[in-house]
Chain A
Amino acid sequence: MATSTSQTSFYQQLIDKQELTNKLYLSWMSPNIETLTKRLKSIEHDTYSEVLKAYSSMADLYRVPDYFDSSAFTRQDTKDGVVREKDPNSSREEDDAISSNENTSISDINVANQQFRQYLDSQTKDFIRTLTWTDFEDGMENDVTRQVGKYMGQNRYVTYCWLHKIFNDNRSKPNITSGILRTLAMVVNKNDADIMLTLVTSGIASQHSEDQEAAIMVVEKWRTKECLEALLNTTFGSDWVKEYAMQVVEELKEELAV
Protein backbone atom coordinates (compact mmCIF):
# COMPACT_ATOMS: atom_id res chain seq x y z
CA MET A 1 0.00 0.00 0.00
CA ALA A 2 1.39 3.42 -0.86
CA THR A 3 2.11 5.83 1.96
CA SER A 4 -0.40 8.70 1.99
CA THR A 5 0.54 12.33 2.59
CA SER A 6 -1.14 12.35 6.00
CA GLN A 7 0.69 9.19 6.99
CA THR A 8 3.98 10.67 5.80
CA SER A 9 3.31 13.78 7.88
CA PHE A 10 2.52 11.57 10.86
CA TYR A 11 5.76 9.68 10.43
CA GLN A 12 7.61 12.99 10.18
CA GLN A 13 6.14 14.01 13.52
CA LEU A 14 7.30 10.73 14.95
CA ILE A 15 10.76 11.23 13.57
CA ASP A 16 10.85 14.60 15.26
CA LYS A 17 10.45 12.95 18.63
CA GLN A 18 13.85 12.36 20.07
CA GLU A 19 12.46 9.65 22.35
CA LEU A 20 11.12 7.66 19.46
CA THR A 21 14.24 7.90 17.40
CA ASN A 22 16.20 6.77 20.44
CA LYS A 23 13.86 3.82 20.91
CA LEU A 24 13.96 2.82 17.27
CA TYR A 25 17.67 3.45 17.12
CA LEU A 26 18.16 0.99 19.95
CA SER A 27 15.61 -1.59 18.84
CA TRP A 28 16.45 -1.60 15.15
CA MET A 29 20.18 -1.44 15.76
CA SER A 30 20.35 1.27 13.16
CA PRO A 31 23.83 2.74 12.79
CA ASN A 32 22.64 6.35 12.69
CA ILE A 33 19.64 8.62 12.71
CA GLU A 34 19.91 9.29 8.96
CA THR A 35 19.39 5.61 8.15
CA LEU A 36 16.49 5.45 10.54
CA THR A 37 14.89 8.55 9.02
CA LYS A 38 15.23 6.99 5.57
CA ARG A 39 13.52 3.85 6.82
CA LEU A 40 10.65 5.76 8.35
CA LYS A 41 10.14 7.79 5.20
CA SER A 42 9.90 4.67 3.10
CA ILE A 43 7.65 2.97 5.62
CA GLU A 44 4.63 1.00 4.35
CA HIS A 45 1.23 0.66 5.94
CA ASP A 46 2.07 -2.69 7.50
CA THR A 47 4.91 -1.15 9.43
CA TYR A 48 2.57 1.54 10.73
CA SER A 49 1.57 -0.77 13.57
CA GLU A 50 5.16 -1.29 14.59
CA VAL A 51 5.72 2.43 14.74
CA LEU A 52 2.54 2.89 16.74
CA LYS A 53 3.51 0.15 19.15
CA ALA A 54 6.91 1.73 19.62
CA TYR A 55 5.30 5.10 20.04
CA SER A 56 2.68 3.78 22.49
CA SER A 57 5.24 2.06 24.62
CA MET A 58 7.17 5.22 25.32
CA ALA A 59 5.99 5.10 28.93
CA ASP A 60 8.03 1.92 29.30
CA LEU A 61 10.81 3.57 27.44
CA TYR A 62 11.59 5.90 30.30
CA ARG A 63 12.32 3.01 32.61
CA VAL A 64 15.75 2.52 31.10
CA PRO A 65 17.27 -0.85 31.93
CA ASP A 66 20.58 -0.70 33.75
CA TYR A 67 22.47 -2.29 30.90
CA PHE A 68 21.69 0.58 28.55
CA ASP A 69 24.16 3.33 28.12
CA SER A 70 22.20 6.18 29.64
CA SER A 71 23.97 8.75 27.47
CA ALA A 72 22.23 7.25 24.41
CA PHE A 73 18.91 7.45 26.14
CA THR A 74 18.37 10.58 28.10
CA ARG A 75 14.91 11.57 29.17
CA GLN A 76 14.06 14.92 27.59
CA ASP A 77 11.21 16.04 29.81
CA THR A 78 13.09 16.24 33.09
CA LYS A 79 15.68 18.86 33.96
CA ASP A 80 18.53 16.39 34.18
CA GLY A 81 17.07 13.41 32.35
CA VAL A 82 16.60 11.45 35.56
CA VAL A 83 13.21 10.16 36.76
CA ARG A 84 12.92 10.42 40.51
CA GLU A 85 10.50 8.87 42.96
CA LYS A 86 8.04 11.39 44.34
CA ASP A 87 9.20 12.88 47.63
CA PRO A 88 6.39 12.50 50.21
CA ASN A 89 7.43 15.82 51.75
CA SER A 90 7.52 17.77 48.51
CA SER A 91 5.40 20.84 47.99
CA ARG A 92 2.27 20.85 45.81
CA GLU A 93 4.03 22.98 43.21
CA GLU A 94 6.84 20.47 43.01
CA ASP A 95 4.30 17.61 42.71
CA ASP A 96 2.45 19.38 39.90
CA ALA A 97 5.67 19.96 38.06
CA ILE A 98 6.54 16.26 38.29
CA SER A 99 3.00 15.18 37.26
CA SER A 100 3.12 17.46 34.29
CA ASN A 101 6.35 15.86 33.15
CA GLU A 102 5.03 12.33 33.77
CA ASN A 103 1.94 13.08 31.70
CA THR A 104 3.99 13.74 28.60
CA SER A 105 4.13 10.07 27.66
CA ILE A 106 0.39 9.64 28.28
CA SER A 107 -0.40 12.54 26.01
CA ASP A 108 1.88 11.00 23.38
CA ILE A 109 -0.09 7.76 23.62
CA ASN A 110 -3.30 9.73 23.27
CA VAL A 111 -1.95 11.44 20.19
CA ALA A 112 -1.01 8.06 18.70
CA ASN A 113 -4.49 6.71 19.48
CA GLN A 114 -6.06 9.77 17.92
CA GLN A 115 -3.92 9.40 14.83
CA PHE A 116 -4.93 5.77 14.45
CA ARG A 117 -8.59 6.66 14.99
CA GLN A 118 -8.32 9.29 12.28
CA TYR A 119 -6.84 6.68 10.00
CA LEU A 120 -9.70 4.26 10.77
CA ASP A 121 -12.28 7.00 10.25
CA SER A 122 -10.78 7.63 6.83
CA GLN A 123 -11.39 3.94 6.05
CA THR A 124 -15.02 3.87 7.25
CA LYS A 125 -16.68 4.43 3.86
CA ASP A 126 -14.69 1.67 2.16
CA PHE A 127 -15.18 -0.61 5.14
CA ILE A 128 -18.96 -0.19 5.06
CA ARG A 129 -18.99 -0.83 1.32
CA THR A 130 -17.02 -4.05 1.77
CA LEU A 131 -19.19 -5.07 4.73
CA THR A 132 -22.38 -4.52 2.74
CA TRP A 133 -21.23 -6.68 -0.16
CA THR A 134 -19.63 -9.47 1.83
CA ASP A 135 -21.51 -12.73 2.20
CA PHE A 136 -20.77 -14.03 5.66
CA GLU A 137 -20.38 -17.77 5.59
CA ASP A 138 -20.48 -19.50 8.98
CA GLY A 139 -17.04 -20.56 10.10
CA MET A 140 -15.25 -18.88 7.20
CA GLU A 141 -12.96 -15.88 7.29
CA ASN A 142 -13.62 -13.13 4.76
CA ASP A 143 -12.22 -9.73 3.75
CA VAL A 144 -14.07 -7.95 6.57
CA THR A 145 -12.96 -10.27 9.37
CA ARG A 146 -9.40 -10.17 8.07
CA GLN A 147 -9.45 -6.36 7.85
CA VAL A 148 -10.84 -5.91 11.37
CA GLY A 149 -8.41 -8.52 12.69
CA LYS A 150 -5.56 -6.54 11.18
CA TYR A 151 -6.75 -3.28 12.74
CA MET A 152 -7.11 -5.01 16.09
CA GLY A 153 -3.54 -6.19 15.81
CA GLN A 154 -2.51 -2.56 15.45
CA ASN A 155 -4.65 -1.03 18.19
CA ARG A 156 -7.43 -3.13 19.68
CA TYR A 157 -9.19 -0.54 21.79
CA VAL A 158 -9.28 2.16 19.16
CA THR A 159 -10.64 -0.42 16.71
CA TYR A 160 -13.39 -1.29 19.20
CA CYS A 161 -14.33 2.40 19.56
CA TRP A 162 -14.44 2.70 15.79
CA LEU A 163 -16.70 -0.37 15.42
CA HIS A 164 -19.00 1.02 18.14
CA LYS A 165 -19.32 4.24 16.17
CA ILE A 166 -20.11 2.47 12.88
CA PHE A 167 -22.65 0.25 14.63
CA ASN A 168 -24.37 3.19 16.31
CA ASP A 169 -24.40 5.28 13.14
CA ASN A 170 -26.06 2.43 11.22
CA ARG A 171 -28.52 0.99 13.73
CA SER A 172 -31.34 0.92 11.20
CA LYS A 173 -29.27 -0.95 8.61
CA PRO A 174 -29.21 -4.63 9.58
CA ASN A 175 -26.93 -5.56 6.69
CA ILE A 176 -24.25 -3.43 8.39
CA THR A 177 -25.02 -4.13 12.06
CA SER A 178 -25.39 -7.90 11.57
CA GLY A 179 -22.13 -7.90 9.60
CA ILE A 180 -20.34 -6.15 12.47
CA LEU A 181 -21.79 -8.67 14.94
CA ARG A 182 -20.73 -11.61 12.78
CA THR A 183 -17.27 -10.07 12.61
CA LEU A 184 -17.16 -9.78 16.41
CA ALA A 185 -18.07 -13.47 16.67
CA MET A 186 -15.11 -14.28 14.46
CA VAL A 187 -12.37 -11.97 15.76
CA VAL A 188 -13.13 -10.63 19.25
CA ASN A 189 -11.85 -12.72 22.10
CA LYS A 190 -14.01 -13.53 25.13
CA ASN A 191 -11.58 -11.49 27.29
CA ASP A 192 -12.86 -8.31 25.63
CA ALA A 193 -16.52 -9.35 25.84
CA ASP A 194 -17.39 -6.68 28.40
CA ILE A 195 -16.13 -3.89 26.12
CA MET A 196 -18.32 -4.98 23.21
CA LEU A 197 -21.28 -6.32 25.19
CA THR A 198 -23.48 -3.33 24.40
CA LEU A 199 -23.36 -4.15 20.69
CA VAL A 200 -24.43 -7.71 21.40
CA THR A 201 -27.29 -6.73 23.73
CA SER A 202 -28.36 -4.18 21.17
CA GLY A 203 -28.31 -6.88 18.48
CA ILE A 204 -30.36 -9.27 20.60
CA ALA A 205 -32.93 -6.56 21.31
CA SER A 206 -33.05 -5.50 17.65
CA GLN A 207 -36.27 -5.67 15.67
CA HIS A 208 -34.27 -7.20 12.81
CA SER A 209 -33.96 -10.99 12.94
CA GLU A 210 -30.57 -10.93 11.18
CA ASP A 211 -29.16 -8.79 14.02
CA GLN A 212 -30.59 -11.22 16.56
CA GLU A 213 -29.13 -14.23 14.75
CA ALA A 214 -25.69 -12.62 14.48
CA ALA A 215 -25.77 -11.56 18.15
CA ILE A 216 -26.54 -15.14 19.23
CA MET A 217 -23.49 -16.27 17.25
CA VAL A 218 -21.39 -13.88 19.36
CA VAL A 219 -23.01 -15.19 22.56
CA GLU A 220 -22.11 -18.72 21.46
CA LYS A 221 -18.47 -17.66 21.24
CA TRP A 222 -18.20 -15.59 24.42
CA ARG A 223 -20.43 -17.77 26.65
CA THR A 224 -20.65 -15.30 29.53
CA LYS A 225 -23.36 -14.86 32.17
CA GLU A 226 -24.05 -11.32 30.89
CA CYS A 227 -24.63 -12.67 27.39
CA LEU A 228 -26.95 -15.35 28.74
CA GLU A 229 -28.95 -12.75 30.65
CA ALA A 230 -29.32 -10.71 27.50
CA LEU A 231 -30.73 -13.73 25.67
CA LEU A 232 -33.38 -14.46 28.27
CA ASN A 233 -36.80 -12.83 27.95
CA THR A 234 -36.18 -11.75 24.38
CA THR A 235 -38.82 -11.82 21.67
CA PHE A 236 -37.48 -13.30 18.45
CA GLY A 237 -38.65 -12.41 14.97
CA SER A 238 -38.02 -15.89 13.56
CA ASP A 239 -39.02 -19.16 15.22
CA TRP A 240 -35.88 -20.89 13.92
CA VAL A 241 -33.71 -18.13 15.42
CA LYS A 242 -35.65 -18.59 18.67
CA GLU A 243 -34.98 -22.33 18.53
CA TYR A 244 -31.27 -21.62 18.01
CA ALA A 245 -31.27 -19.11 20.88
CA MET A 246 -32.94 -21.60 23.22
CA GLN A 247 -30.35 -24.23 22.35
CA VAL A 248 -27.59 -21.80 23.32
CA VAL A 249 -29.48 -20.72 26.46
CA GLU A 250 -29.78 -24.35 27.62
CA GLU A 251 -26.08 -24.96 27.03
CA LEU A 252 -25.06 -21.81 28.88
CA LYS A 253 -27.39 -22.47 31.82
CA GLU A 254 -25.77 -25.84 32.29
CA GLU A 255 -22.25 -24.58 31.69
CA LEU A 256 -22.54 -21.54 33.97
CA ALA A 257 -24.67 -23.41 36.54
CA VAL A 258 -27.32 -20.70 36.43
Chain B
Amino acid sequence: MILRKIDAITKWNNPKSVNRPDPTVPGDTLSELKTKENKLSVWLANSEEDIEDAVVALSLSRDDTDRLCLLLLDEEKLSSFDIVVLDDQEGDAQGASEEILKKHRNLVELDHKRLGQLAEYMIQQANDTNNRKTFSEVKVKNILNKYKGTKIEPQKVKKNIIRKLNWNEDGNT
Protein backbone atom coordinates (compact mmCIF):
# COMPACT_ATOMS: atom_id res chain seq x y z
CA MET B 1 0.00 0.00 0.00
CA ILE B 2 0.98 3.64 -0.46
CA LEU B 3 -0.59 6.82 0.82
CA ARG B 4 -1.31 10.22 -0.63
CA LYS B 5 -1.92 13.38 1.40
CA ILE B 6 -5.03 15.41 0.59
CA ASP B 7 -5.84 18.96 1.72
CA ALA B 8 -9.62 19.15 1.58
CA ILE B 9 -11.72 16.21 2.75
CA THR B 10 -14.77 17.67 1.04
CA LYS B 11 -13.14 17.51 -2.38
CA TRP B 12 -12.90 13.71 -2.04
CA ASN B 13 -15.68 12.61 0.26
CA ASN B 14 -19.11 13.52 -1.05
CA PRO B 15 -17.71 16.17 -3.41
CA LYS B 16 -19.97 18.70 -5.07
CA SER B 17 -21.07 17.00 -8.28
CA VAL B 18 -20.74 18.56 -11.70
CA ASN B 19 -24.07 19.72 -13.05
CA ARG B 20 -24.21 17.79 -16.31
CA PRO B 21 -25.92 14.57 -17.50
CA ASP B 22 -22.66 12.60 -17.72
CA PRO B 23 -20.63 13.77 -14.71
CA THR B 24 -17.27 12.20 -13.90
CA VAL B 25 -14.62 13.38 -11.42
CA PRO B 26 -15.29 17.04 -10.46
CA GLY B 27 -12.71 19.54 -11.70
CA ASP B 28 -12.25 20.86 -8.16
CA THR B 29 -11.22 17.39 -7.02
CA LEU B 30 -8.71 17.10 -9.83
CA SER B 31 -7.19 20.39 -8.70
CA GLU B 32 -5.85 18.54 -5.64
CA LEU B 33 -3.73 16.37 -7.91
CA LYS B 34 -1.16 18.89 -9.04
CA THR B 35 1.66 17.09 -10.75
CA LYS B 36 5.27 18.20 -11.13
CA GLU B 37 7.14 16.67 -14.04
CA ASN B 38 4.06 14.44 -14.43
CA LYS B 39 4.72 12.96 -10.98
CA LEU B 40 2.73 12.81 -7.76
CA SER B 41 4.36 12.37 -4.40
CA VAL B 42 3.24 9.41 -2.25
CA TRP B 43 4.63 7.45 0.70
CA LEU B 44 4.99 3.79 1.48
CA ALA B 45 2.24 2.55 3.80
CA ASN B 46 2.59 -1.18 4.29
CA SER B 47 2.43 -1.02 8.09
CA GLU B 48 1.35 1.30 10.92
CA GLU B 49 5.01 2.25 11.32
CA ASP B 50 5.23 3.22 7.65
CA ILE B 51 2.15 5.39 8.07
CA GLU B 52 3.60 7.11 11.14
CA ASP B 53 6.86 7.66 9.25
CA ALA B 54 4.89 9.31 6.45
CA VAL B 55 3.12 11.51 9.02
CA VAL B 56 6.53 12.56 10.35
CA ALA B 57 7.87 13.37 6.89
CA LEU B 58 4.76 15.22 5.74
CA SER B 59 4.53 17.23 8.98
CA LEU B 60 8.17 18.23 9.01
CA SER B 61 7.95 19.58 5.50
CA ARG B 62 5.21 22.11 6.41
CA ASP B 63 4.99 25.48 8.21
CA ASP B 64 2.63 24.28 10.95
CA THR B 65 1.67 21.11 12.80
CA ASP B 66 -1.86 21.06 11.33
CA ARG B 67 -3.99 17.95 10.91
CA LEU B 68 -3.11 15.49 8.15
CA CYS B 69 -5.64 13.74 5.93
CA LEU B 70 -4.40 10.69 4.04
CA LEU B 71 -5.78 8.20 1.54
CA LEU B 72 -4.48 4.65 1.31
CA LEU B 73 -3.98 3.36 -2.21
CA ASP B 74 -3.41 -0.19 -3.36
CA GLU B 75 -0.40 -0.54 -5.66
CA GLU B 76 -2.01 -3.42 -7.52
CA LYS B 77 -5.02 -1.28 -8.31
CA LEU B 78 -2.73 1.49 -9.53
CA SER B 79 -0.90 -1.03 -11.64
CA SER B 80 -4.21 -1.99 -13.27
CA PHE B 81 -4.41 1.63 -14.47
CA ASP B 82 -0.85 1.28 -15.71
CA ILE B 83 0.31 3.76 -13.09
CA VAL B 84 3.88 3.08 -12.03
CA VAL B 85 5.04 3.61 -8.44
CA LEU B 86 8.71 4.49 -8.52
CA ASP B 87 11.39 4.75 -5.87
CA ASP B 88 13.26 7.43 -7.83
CA GLN B 89 13.61 10.26 -5.34
CA GLU B 90 14.14 10.56 -1.59
CA GLY B 91 11.58 12.52 0.40
CA ASP B 92 12.29 16.08 1.54
CA ALA B 93 11.57 16.86 5.19
CA GLN B 94 13.98 18.81 7.38
CA GLY B 95 14.96 16.74 10.39
CA ALA B 96 13.49 13.41 9.24
CA SER B 97 15.86 10.45 9.26
CA GLU B 98 17.24 8.76 6.16
CA GLU B 99 15.14 5.71 7.04
CA ILE B 100 11.95 7.78 6.74
CA LEU B 101 12.96 9.71 3.64
CA LYS B 102 13.70 6.48 1.81
CA LYS B 103 10.03 5.55 2.08
CA HIS B 104 9.09 8.26 -0.37
CA ARG B 105 7.68 7.18 -3.73
CA ASN B 106 6.45 8.87 -6.92
CA LEU B 107 3.57 8.02 -9.20
CA VAL B 108 5.22 8.69 -12.55
CA GLU B 109 4.35 9.42 -16.18
CA LEU B 110 0.88 10.61 -15.28
CA ASP B 111 -1.32 11.87 -18.09
CA HIS B 112 -4.93 12.99 -18.49
CA LYS B 113 -6.26 9.42 -18.62
CA ARG B 114 -4.23 8.12 -15.66
CA LEU B 115 -4.99 11.19 -13.50
CA GLY B 116 -8.70 10.71 -14.12
CA GLN B 117 -8.53 7.02 -13.19
CA LEU B 118 -6.47 7.81 -10.11
CA ALA B 119 -8.89 10.54 -8.98
CA GLU B 120 -11.87 8.25 -9.48
CA TYR B 121 -10.15 5.54 -7.44
CA MET B 122 -9.22 8.02 -4.70
CA ILE B 123 -12.86 9.14 -4.42
CA GLN B 124 -13.82 5.48 -3.91
CA GLN B 125 -11.14 5.10 -1.24
CA ALA B 126 -12.33 8.29 0.50
CA ASN B 127 -15.76 6.76 0.93
CA ASP B 128 -14.33 3.76 2.77
CA THR B 129 -13.44 4.38 6.43
CA ASN B 130 -10.69 1.73 6.25
CA ASN B 131 -8.85 3.57 3.51
CA ARG B 132 -8.88 7.09 4.87
CA LYS B 133 -6.88 8.39 7.80
CA THR B 134 -7.23 11.65 9.72
CA PHE B 135 -4.47 12.65 12.08
CA SER B 136 -5.63 15.57 14.20
CA GLU B 137 -3.04 18.14 15.26
CA VAL B 138 -2.81 16.43 18.66
CA LYS B 139 -2.06 13.09 17.00
CA VAL B 140 0.48 14.69 14.68
CA LYS B 141 2.25 16.26 17.65
CA ASN B 142 2.18 12.98 19.58
CA ILE B 143 3.84 11.16 16.69
CA LEU B 144 6.48 13.88 16.28
CA ASN B 145 7.21 13.76 20.02
CA LYS B 146 7.36 9.96 19.89
CA TYR B 147 10.11 9.96 17.26
CA LYS B 148 12.07 12.95 18.53
CA GLY B 149 15.69 11.96 18.90
CA THR B 150 15.26 8.66 17.08
CA LYS B 151 13.76 9.13 13.63
CA ILE B 152 13.77 12.93 13.99
CA GLU B 153 16.87 15.04 14.45
CA PRO B 154 15.32 17.98 16.35
CA GLN B 155 18.20 20.36 15.63
CA LYS B 156 17.41 20.17 11.93
CA VAL B 157 13.65 20.68 12.23
CA LYS B 158 12.17 23.98 10.95
CA LYS B 159 12.04 26.67 13.65
CA ASN B 160 8.27 27.22 13.45
CA ILE B 161 7.60 23.50 13.87
CA ILE B 162 9.95 23.43 16.88
CA ARG B 163 7.99 26.33 18.39
CA LYS B 164 4.65 24.57 17.82
CA LEU B 165 6.00 21.48 19.57
CA ASN B 166 7.38 23.50 22.48
CA TRP B 167 10.82 22.07 21.86
CA ASN B 168 13.80 24.23 22.77
CA GLU B 169 15.94 25.66 20.02
CA ASP B 170 18.40 22.83 20.63
CA GLY B 171 15.55 20.38 20.11
CA ASN B 172 14.84 19.47 23.73
CA THR B 173 11.34 19.76 25.21
B-binding residues in A (CB < 8 A): 135-141, 185-186, 209-210, 212-213, 217, 220-221, 237-241, 243-244, 247-248, 251
Contacts and interface: CB of A to CB of B under 8 A. Distances in A.
Given A220-B137, A238-B9, A248-B136, A139 B129 contact: no
A213 B10 contact: yes
Interface of B: 5, 7-10, 12-14, 31, 34, 59, 62-69, 126, 129, 132, 134, 136-138
Contact of A138 (B12, B68, B138): B68
30 contacts: A135-B31, A136-B8, A137-B7, A138-B5, A138-B62, A138-B66, A138-B67, A139-B59, A139-B62, A139-B63, A140-B63, A186-B64, A209-B14, A210-B8, A210-B10, A212-B10, A213-B8, A220-B67, A220-B137, A238-B9, A239-B14, A240-B14, A240-B134, A241-B10, A241-B13, A243-B129, A243-B134, A244-B9, A244-B69, A251-B136
Contacts of B67: 138, 217, 220, 244
A239 B64 contact: no
Contacts, number: 76
Nearest to A221: B137
A186 B7 CA distance: 14
A201 B64 CA distance: 24
The secondary structure that dominates the A interface is: helix
Nearest to B14: A238
A136 B62 CA distance: 12
A247 B14 contact: no
B7 A239 contact: no
Nearest to B138: A251
A136 B12 CA distance: 15
Contact of B64 (A139, A213, A248): A139
Interface centre among A135, A209, A248 (most CB of B within 10 A): A209
A237 B136 contact: no
Nearest to B34: A135
Contacts of B138: 251
